[in-house]
Amino acid sequence: MRTNFANIRGMLKRLALSVLALLVFQIVLCAQTPNPRTMAVTIDDLPYVKIGEGVYLTRARTATSKILSTLKKYQVPAVGFVNEAKLENPDDRDARIALLRQWVSSGMVLGNHTYSHPDFNRLTIEEFQEEVAKGDVVTRQLMRSRQPYQLYFRHPQTHTGDTREKKEAIDRYLATRGYKITPHTIENSDFIFNVAYVLAMQNGDKELASRVRAEYLDFTIAATEFAEKISPQIFGREIPQTLLIHSNDITADCLDQLLRRFSARGYKFVTLDAVMADPAYETKDTFVTKFGPTWLFRWAKSKGMDVDFSGDPDPPKWVMDLYNKR
């Protein structure tokens, strides 16, 4: 009997300790997790990125309607970054502009993503300035009714200048013209998944397409978890996140599930203006690179911090293989 009582006492003690540990863990977690978490959604390469067969306008209309109705459903005030060179098709220029008008009338903000999406690494400062200047001629007309609004710019491939001279020259050029450079903290390589997805769909391989979709969603959440984990190491707290995705088919078909999963993680969708007002986003990005890493990486480097980014996930090999096979 005595041994049994001792056992029960021991068990109760262990149970009490476990409960206590769990409580402490939750208190620590609550202190580090903003309530609610916030996120700005930014969508690049408007009006639409076409992969594979089909008429651009038809496919662009379908994707645009799906994306906008999903954004509306979750009350997401997104910013769409336009490449106006994509409007320059004599047969349906007005119809392509109408796609952008849909974004504006749905309450979204349009930003400048350069005229033709060149890689700044391959351009001179002057050539890139021209791309910026030509980048939002139509966009500004469409946004006229929304004056005053913040002008946003995003570099193609988020290549911000591969030399200090180029980076500083374009930073200055953009600032004097009233643009804010748009950072991103979460990137999900959706352009890679999109190629694999569209080709599977067009080959009639529904099973593969659904595997790509599932992997894409899991991968986005893994990238989000990483951003949530790494930002306290840079700023001492979780900061508002900025998601970068594209106007393409995988976004059109998965955005609903994606936003649902973000909501389940406690995210509230806010404007880019609201996210940019967070002090963390005032951190100066002085990091020069020919690559396009997230701003979490750039801010850590700019602050001279030694943060371990090795856990930042990459798309799985089987998806990369499908992308490279195209």
Binding site for Zn ion (CB under 5 A): 44-45, 156
**Coil, helix or strand at residue 224:** helix
Query: Would you mind telling me the total number of residues written for the chain in this entry?
Result: 326
DSSP 304: T
For residues 37 and 24, what is the distance between their CA atoms, to the nearest angstrom? 21
Closer to Zn ion by CB, 45 or 249: give it: 45
CB of 117 to Zn ion, least distance (A): 6
CB of 120 to Zn ion, least distance (A): 12
Closer to Zn ion by CB, 153 or 226: give it: 153
- The label of the residue with tokens 């769909």 reads 201
> Where does residue 308 rank: exposed (0-12), middle (13-18), buried (19+ CB within 10 A)?
exposed
For residues 94 and 89, what is the distance between their CA atoms, to the nearest angstrom? 9
Closer to Zn ion by CB, 189 or 231: give it: 189
- What are the residue ranges of helices labelled H in the chain? 2-32, 56-73, 93-105, 125-133, 137-142, 164-176, 190-202, 206-235, 249-264, 272-276, 295-302, 317-325
Closer to Zn ion by CB, 117 or 298: give it: 117
Closer to Zn ion by CB, 70 or 182: give it: 182
CA dihedral for 312, 223, 86, 171, sign (positive or negative):
negative
Chain residue at closest Cβ approach to Zn ion? 44
Residue 294 phi/psi, 5-degree rounding, is -70, 165
Closer to Zn ion by CB, 81 or 262: give it: 81
Q: Which of 244, 141, 143 is nearest to 185 (CA)?
A: 244
- The label of the residue with tokens 């701003």 reads 295
CB of 229 to Zn ion, least distance (A): 26
CB of 49 to Zn ion, least distance (A): 8
CB of 307 to Zn ion, least distance (A): 26
CB of 152 to Zn ion, least distance (A): 13
Closer to Zn ion by CB, 49 or 217: give it: 49
Tokens of 258: 């994606």
CB of 154 to Zn ion, least distance (A): 7
